Amino acid sequence: MGSDSNVALVRNGEARFALHRLPWQSAEDILGPADELIRYLEKSLGLSVPNARGGTPDACPAALVLNRDVRADLGREDFEVVSGQDRVELRACTVEGMYHAVYWFLEHALGVRWLWPGASGEVVPRNTDLIFPTGRWRESPDYAWRAISLGGAVDKATDVKTMLHARLGLPLAYQEAFDLWCRRNRFGGLKVAGGHKWAEIAPPDVYGESHRDCFALLDGKRDNLPGDGKHGNQPCLTEMVVAELTADYARTRLAVDRDLDVLSVALNDGGRACECDRCRAFDAEIGGGEVMARDRADVETDEGPDRVGLPASITDQLFWNLQQVVRLAGDALDGKLLLTHLYSYYRRAPLRYSLPKEVMGQYCVVGATFWDDDAKKDRYDELRAVAAHVPTLGIYEYFIQTAWPDLIRLYPELIAETVRMYHDTGARYYATQPSTGFATNGLNLWLLGRCLWDVKTEADAATDEFCTVGFGPAAAPVRRYLDAFAERWKETRSGTTVIEDPHGWIGFARLYTEAFLEARDGELVEAAEAAGDDEDVISRIDFLRQGLEHTRLRCVACGLTAHLLETAGVDKVMSIPLEGLGPEVVLAAQAADEAWKVYWRFVDDHLGQFVFADFWIHYRLTQYGEDKVFERIRQLSAISSR
C-alpha cells in the first residue's frame, strides 16, 4: 500500500480501496457528492468503485472516505482533505462543502476539469493509478458569495430564465447544465434573491394611488403610474412610509423563504430621483446648503450620455433610508442580509451616512474597461471612498458589458487584478451579469471561478492550465489564439481607441479587422493539426471556432452596416429614407441585409449550445431597437426589386 509519502488507492488498474460514506446513519445526505465522485473515478480509471457496506469493516486495505462531520471546525463552504495510513478522507460539515471537496479531489488526484458546460468542456484523463500524497489540505473561499447571475427581472412580463425557456425555447436542461458547471467550478456560497426590487416591494398598480407620496415627485407629478415593472417608479427615500413598506416586505419574504441568506431591497433600474421639498432639503443639509452636484451617466448604467436632467447623487438618502429599514425590520433579519445596489446616481461615496452592517452594498463596476488607466483610477478611488461607509461590501461586475453582444473580449489579467483589488478593499461578495457565452469568453468565466475562490490566483498560470489541460498537444497555438484577443483588448485600452460608441455598428469591425480574425482562424487550424486524432481536443477546438465564427459574422455585418451609413451620409439607419435613394445606397443595404441574415442563421443554429450569451443577443433586439434597424435594412434592400 503506497509508501510513507502517499496512499495507493488504485494501482495498475486494480482498486485497493472501498468508498465509505460517514456517518453511515445519514449517508443519504451526501449521495449527490458521492455520486459525482464515483462517476468521475469510474470514467477516469475504467473500473467499478467498491463501496463499503454500512459501518462494517471492508476487505479492501485502503479507504476513500466522505465524512460529513457536523461537529468539525469548518465553515459553511470549507473542507479538509486528510491523507495518511491507507486512508484519504474528504471532510466537510455541509453538503455544499462536501461537493467542493469532491471536485477539488478530482482535480488534484485525477486531473479532471470542467472548462465549459457540456460534453466537450469535460476533461477526464484516463488513469491506471490513483496514488495520492499524504498530508492535510484545508480550503475555504476568499469570497463568501461567488455568482454568475443567470436570473433577474427583465420587465414585468418576464425574467431572464423565463425568457430563455419560454421565449427562446431553451429547455430547462440548458439552465441545469449551466448551474452544474458553476457548482463544479466552486461558484456559489449564498442563496440570494437579488436584482431590482422596489417594483416588487411597492408595485404601482397596487400602491400607486393609496401611497402616492411613496413615489418620486418628478416635474411636479408623482411617478406612480404603472410602468414596465423594473424601470422608473422610483421611491421617495425620505418618506418614512417607504422604509416601513420595505421593512414589511423584508420581514414577510424572509419568513416565507427561510433558506434565503440575502434579500435585495434595491431600487428600480433607471428613472430619476425624487424632487420633493423634503428630499431637496435633505440634500441641501447634507451638501452644506446646496443640492449636490449632478452626476453624468456612464457605462455602469443603461442610460445614454445625452440624457438631460440627471438627478443628484442620493447615496446619503439611500443609506439613511436603509438605516430605518433595518431598525424597523428588527429581529426578522436574524443574521440575514439585505442588499442594495451602489449604482448610477447612488454610487458615489456618501458625505454623512453609512450603511448598516445588515445591508450588503453591491458596488456596480465594469472591470473590463480598466486597460484605460483613467477609468481604472476613477473607479478604484471611488470604491475605496465608498468602502469606508459600507461595512458589508459586495461587487456587481458587468461581465458582459463592453462585449455587446458577447463577441470575444478576453482580459484575464484584469480579472485576476480586479478580484484581488476588490477583496483588498473589503469586498467578500461578488456577482456578475448573466453570461453563457463560453465559446466566446469561456476563459474569462473559468478563470473568474478560480480567482473568487483564491484571490492569489495568477492569470498567466491559470491560462496555461486552461490550455494545457484542455488542449494537450494543441496547447501552444490555442494559447497564442487566446493571447492575441487579450492583447488586442489591452493595446486598444479596453477598446476605447477604436470603439467610439460601444453600442454602435462600427466599433467591433474596427477592433477585429478581417486580417486579425483570419490570423486567429489560422491558429485554430494549426491547433487542429497538432491535435492529431485526439477527438476530445478536436471537439474543444471546434467549440472555440464557433465562438470565432460568431464574432466574425457579427463584425462583418456591423462593418457593412457602417458602410451603409457612410454611403447614405447619415448617422443612424432609421434616418435613411425609403425613397429617392441612389443605387449605391441600395446595394450597400443589400450587402448589409445578407450579412445579417447569415449572422442570424448562425445564431438560430447554435442557440442553447453555450456559444454566445443567448439572452443578451435577443434582449438587444427590442431593448436597443435592433429589430427595427434590421427591418429598415430589409426594406432598403428590397427597393431595387420593386
Cα→Cα distances 10→39, 109, 232, Å = 16, 11, 62
Residue labelled with grid coordinates 416635474: 219
| pTM of the predicted model over 0.85 | yes
- At 308, is the pLDDT very low, low, confident or very high (cuts 50, 70, 90)? very low
Residue labelled with grid coordinates 479531489: 105
Give the pairing of strands 17-22 and 62-68: parallel
pLDDT digits (tens, 9 = 90+) for 145-183: 999 988 777 666 568 888 888 888 999 999 999 999 999
Quick one: three-class SS letters along 83-142?
EECCEEEEEECCHHHHHHHHHHHHHHHHCCEECCCCHHHEECCCCCCEEEECEEEEECCC
Cα–Cα distance for residue pair 299/309, rounded to 1 Å = 18
Looking at residue 464, what is its pLDDT?
98
pLDDT digits (tens, 9 = 90+) for 437-450: 999 999 999 999 99
517-525 long-range contacts, CB within 8 A, separation 24+: 517/548, 517/551, 517/552, 517/555, 519/484, 520/481, 520/484, 520/485, 520/548, 521/545, 521/548, 523/477, 523/478, 523/480, 523/481, 523/484, 524/477, 524/478, 524/481, 524/548
> DSSP 3-state assignment of 587?
helix
Smallest CA-to-CA distance from 551 within 515, 509, 581 is with: 509
Using the predicted structure, report yes or no on whether residue 484 has a pLDDT greater than 50. yes
Grid cell for residue 576: 435613411
Give the pairing of strands 337-342 and 359-365: parallel
Report residue 194: phi and psi, to 5°: -100, -165
Using the predicted structure, report yes or no on whether residue 493 has a pLDDT greater than 70. yes
Name the DSSP letter for residue 258.
T
The distance in angstroms from the start CA to the end CA of the chain is: 84
- At 641, is the pLDDT very low, low, confident or very high (cuts 50, 70, 90)? low
Residue 9 near residue 63, CB atoms below 8 Å:
no
Q: So what CATH class is 145-456?
A: alpha beta
Q: So what CATH class is 6-139?
A: alpha beta
- Sign of the Cα torsion 258, 263, 265, 267 reads negative
Looking at residue 277, what is its pLDDT?
94
Cα–Cα distance for residue pair 19/487, rounded to 1 Å = 47
Angle between helices 475-491 and 535-568 (to 10 degrees): 30
Report residue 506: phi and psi, to 5°: -90, -25
- At 528, is the pLDDT very low, low, confident or very high (cuts 50, 70, 90)? very high
Cα–Cα distance for residue pair 443/463, rounded to 1 Å = 7
Residue labelled with grid coordinates 474528504: 90
Looking at residue 81, what is its pLDDT?
98
Q: Count Cβ atoms within 10 A of the Cβ of residue 448 and give its class: 0-12 exposed, 13-18 middle, 19 or more buried.
A: buried
Looking at residue 53, what is its pLDDT?
67
Cα–Cα distance for residue pair 504/512, rounded to 1 Å = 14
Cis peptide before 405 (omega within 30 of 0): yes
- At 284, is the pLDDT very low, low, confident or very high (cuts 50, 70, 90)? confident
DSSP letters for 290-349: SPPPBPPP-TTSSS-TT--SPPBP-HHHHHHHHHHHHHHHGGGSTT-EEEEEE-GGG-SP
Cα–Cα distance for residue pair 391/399, rounded to 1 Å = 24
Q: Count Cβ atoms within 10 A of the Cβ of residue 587 and give its class: 0-12 exposed, 13-18 middle, 19 or more buried.
A: middle
Residue 409 near residue 441, CB atoms below 8 Å:
yes
> DSSP 3-state assignment of 162?
helix
Segments making up each domain of the chain, as ranges: 6-139, 145-456
pLDDT digits (tens, 9 = 90+) for 38-53: 999 999 999 999 988 6
Residue 566 near residue 616, CB atoms below 8 Å:
no
Cα–Cα distance for residue pair 52/19, rounded to 1 Å = 6
Beta-bridge partners for 264? 339
- At 507, is the pLDDT very low, low, confident or very high (cuts 50, 70, 90)? confident
Looking at residue 150, what is its pLDDT?
82
Q: What is the mean pLDDT of residues 468-490?
A: 98
In b/e form, how buried is each residue of 151-163, taking b as 16+ CB within 10 angstroms?
bbbbbbeebbbeb
Looking at residue 403, what is its pLDDT?
84
Cα–Cα distance for residue pair 116/106, rounded to 1 Å = 16
Residue 318 near residue 265, CB atoms below 8 Å:
no
Counting residues of the chain whose pLDDT is more than 70, the rounded percentage is 93
Give the pairing of strands 113-114 and 130-133: unpaired
> DSSP 3-state assignment of 38?
helix
